Structure 1
Amino acid sequence: MALPAQRVLIIGGGFSGMSTAIQFRKLGVDVEIAEIDPNWRTDGAGITVSGPSLRALGAIGVLPQFREQGAMTRGVEQYSADGTLLHRIETPQVPGTDILGGGGIMRPVLANILADATRASGAVVRLGTTFSKIEQDEDAVTVEFTDGTRQSYDLLVAADGVYSSVRKALFPEAPTPAYSGQGVWRAVLPRFGAETSMMFFGKDSKVGFTPVSDDEMYLYYTELRPTRERIPDDQLLPHLRGLLDEYTAPILVKIREYLDESCQILYRPLEGMMMPRPWYKGRVLLIGDCVHATTPHMASGAGMGHEDAVVLGEEFARGGALPEVLERYQNRRWERCRMIVANSSRLGEIEMTGGSREEHGQIMSLSIAALLAPI
């Protein structure tokens, strides 16, 4: 099979980069990953994964490991702060699969699953290095690395995240991530009997949790915070406990009482960005959070990166000249990614303003239905 590119460099060894490497290796592409972190770490607590995102993980080939090491759930229940049920969002079976609902897993666990699959695929992983210079012509893209080496490739795929250095270097006119006005708190806790994902709405906030293993779940709390700022480590626990004061649902009372320093409490501001097309320039393509970074309200940020890898692999397999392949790829991804970024932003607005819980549920339901369509 004549491939549009035989030698590919992926800059960034996160979820999107690893997934792309795996898919390219299935086609016989020679793949290198340049990952700046010498320890190839993934920080963070849990991650909620939608059914359509699980479908992408199935296409990549790691769904069995997810089922074994994560947790599978069905439906999303929405409650008031006192525990009154407001709405139950159904998560139908993903067409063409045996996937019912969604799931959750610890981020480092999913990263390790993908890293193992990346190594097994035969991709070359270069740790502790990234690019220092990118040059390209009609025949190749040449990269100088921070370790002093220089190599030429047929294609460079940038998967270096929301603050992408490749985007900044090659697309200086591109938008930059915008702070949403919300921050998210996360913590890891026992499941307290929880069998599915739950959300509880306060005046201008939301708290929820998702099972991530047989005995653990992760809690998330989206807080209205007008300015983007860092919370000192010694304030994380008392601040999160204080935020939960308005929630009187029995399970949240238990959670507040249980919280301590062992719960891996994290806080980060929420940002988003949708880069207009084109997502490629010559032989350089941007994927994942480089072009469609979303807030986590639809639990689809990482899943969109996995889908990017699946679609890019499919378009490579279809063949054609490289510009045609990249154009087909971005056109397949554009509307789906735009919807997730826009709808996630709207959900955040509703939460911050104490808006309609009915609209919140409707947006989630309609988005879930739309995501069930083929990638």
Structure 2
Amino acid sequence: MLIVGGGISGLATALLLSRQGVEVDLVERQERVEALGSGITLIGAALRVLDTLGVYEECLAHGFGVTDFETYNADGTLDSSFPLPSPFGSDGPGMLGMMRPVLHRILLDRAAVEGTTVRTATSPVRIEQDADSVTVEFNTGETGVYDLVIGADGFRSTVRQLVFGRMTPEFQGQGILRVVLPRPAEVTAEIQFHTVGDVFIGFTPTASDRMYMYITFPVEEGYRPDRAELVELARKHIQPFGGVAALIRDDIRDPEQINYTSFETMVVPVPWYRGRVVITGDAAHCPTPHLAAGAAMCLEDAVALAEEFATAPALEKALTAYNDRRYPRCKFVVETGNQLSYWQTHPDTPGADHGGVIAAAFEKLAGPF
């Protein structure tokens, strides 16, 4: 099989299929298989899959296990706190914060141990198929013939473009700054502040000495701040907030600490396959980060694909079962994130219930898939 994309979805899928004895060729368009240097929040659904992959303990050792969720008023006073139940029914964390590059390295190393072949600076430029195989021409001039091609190449998926055609994402009118910071000793929970106007902030511990802050705010389509602006932009947006936000404000010093992106979302209509080509992860469904469920959905996709390939009597039945298991759940995550994004950029919306929607979503995602 060919897997296109060396992100979370591609690496997890490669790991599981290689473990089943499938010969897996993974290609990545970038020169290296790596991720942006910002943090990532992994909810309980993601932790379950990391355990299935056999990397949970290693991730926990290189991240920060979170057992509580705290909300704060704008002045920094505590508003509420509740425990995050462990997905394993134990005293373990219900959430894990870690740095994205560390997670990628762990998944890449384990995929290699399981037998996955990885080629970088390689991307498909042409995909043709018949009833029995898929022929892929790469930018390197090489050609390969495969039983199946899995497009796990992210939101700007080349595989999706080549096989499914052009699809237009939905711009949400909101951007995010992710800022890597020293972790004050008192920050041990997942922290979110009530919005001030249309600005929302939160904090996730990622290591014993590190955390990341996220700041969301309305933006026009096409907006992208200059790197030289990033420090003052982050400081300006957190100026109205007290507590830990005020404590760390002067620690925002270098644009290299900060990553900016805007929110564009997509749910590709089912089926997520055409013949012997299937898409997965952000190539099929890309949410906002409001539920911290993007990585979890990518990881669950990998498990569902591998399980269906292992048990279904025929390829099309496996791919149909994969669609049936994944589409409603992933669509729910995207639509719920879009709703939360809208409420944050339209703070006077009557009946907006951020807390209720998030609590209901977490309960839903804690269930089986």
Query: Do 1:37 and 1:129's aligned partners in 2 also have CA atoms closer than 8 Å?
Result: yes
Alignment match, 2:176? 184
Q: In the alignment, which residue of structure 1 is the partner of 2:260?
A: 267
The answer for the alignment partner of 2:121 in structure 1 is 128
Instruction: Give how far 1:198 is off.
Output: 0.5
Aligned to 1:216: 210
* Identity percentage of aligned residues: 38
Change beyond 3 A, Cα 1:226–1:24: same
Q: Counterpart in 2 of 1:317?
A: 310
| AA at the equivalent of 1:35 | E
Q: Deviations over 1:266-314 (max 9, x none)?
A: 1111111111101000000000001110110000111111110011111
Show the counterpart of 1:3: none
Matched, 1:72 2:65: yes
Q: Which amino acid aligns with 2:173?
A: G
CA contact (8 A) 1:347 1:360 kept: yes
Counterpart secondary structure, 1:297: coil
Query: Quick one: distance in 2 between partners of 1:118 and 1:143?
Result: 22
CA contact (8 A) 2:343 2:352 kept: no
Cα deviation 1:228-264 (Å, max 9, x = unaligned): 31111111001111111111x2211111122111761
Paired residues of 2:199 and 2:344 also in contact (CA < 8 A): yes
Aligned residue identity for 1:78: T
Distance 1:67 1:26 in 2: 22
Letter paired with 1:61: G
Return the offset for 1:90. 4.0
Q: Is the 8 A contact 1:89 1:361 kept in 2?
A: no
Aligned to 2:12: 19
**Cross-structure match for 2:55:** 62
SS of 1:296 mapped into structure 2:
coil
How far is 1:176 from its partner?
2.2
- What is the distance in 1 between the residues matched to 2:350 and 2:256? 32
Offset of residue 58 of structure 1: 0.9
Cα distance, 1:90–1:360 mapped onto 2, change above 3 Å: farther
Q: 2:64 aligned with 1:110, yes or no?
A: no
- Report which stretch shifted further, 259-268 or 365-374: 259-268
- The Cα of 1:315 is off from its aligned counterpart by 0.8
CA distance in 2, matches of 1:97, 1:145: 47
Calculate the TM-score normalised by the size of structure 2: 0.95
Task: Check if 1:281 corresponds to 2:274.
Answer: yes
Q: Which deviations, in whole Å up to 9, do the C-alpha atoms of 1:118-139 show, x marking residues without a partner?
A: 1111111111111111110001
Q: CA deviation at 1:95?
A: 5.2
Give a deviation string over 1:16-42, Cα, whole Å, max 9, x none. 000000010111000000111122221
Does the Cα contact within 8 Å between 2:265 and 2:285 map onto a contact in 1?
yes
Structure 1 gaps of 5+ residues are 1-7
Residues 52, 332 of structure 1: CA spacing in aligned structure 2 closer, same or farther, 3 A cutoff? same
Counterpart AA for 1:368:
F
Work out whether residues 91 and 368 of structure 1, in 8 Å CA contact, stay in contact via their aligned partners in 2. Answer: no
Q: Deviations over 1:208-239 (max 9, x none)?
A: 11000111100100011133311111110011
What amino acid does structure 2 have at the position aligned with 1:367? A
Deviations 1:30-57 (A, max 9, x none): 0000111122221140001101111111
Equivalent residue number for residue 29 of structure 2: 36
Name the amino acid aligned to 2:170: A
Q: Secondary structure at the match of 1:272?
A: strand
- Asked whether the equivalents of residues 89 and 365 of structure 1 are also in contact (C-alpha less than 8 Å), the reply is no
Q: Which runs of 5+ in 2 are unaligned?
A: none
Contact 2:67 2:92 in 1 (8 A): no
Instruction: Name the CA distance, whole Å, in 2 between partners of 1:321 and 1:98.
Output: 41
1:351, distance to aligned residue in structure 2 (A): 1.1
CA shift, 1:190, in A, is: 1.3
How many positions carry a matched residue from both structures? Answer: 366
User: Cα gap change, 1:61/1:299 in structure 2, threshold over 3 Å: closer, same or farther?
Assistant: same
Q: Following the alignment from structure 1 to structure 2, what is the Cα–Cα distance between the partners of residues 78 and 275? A: 34
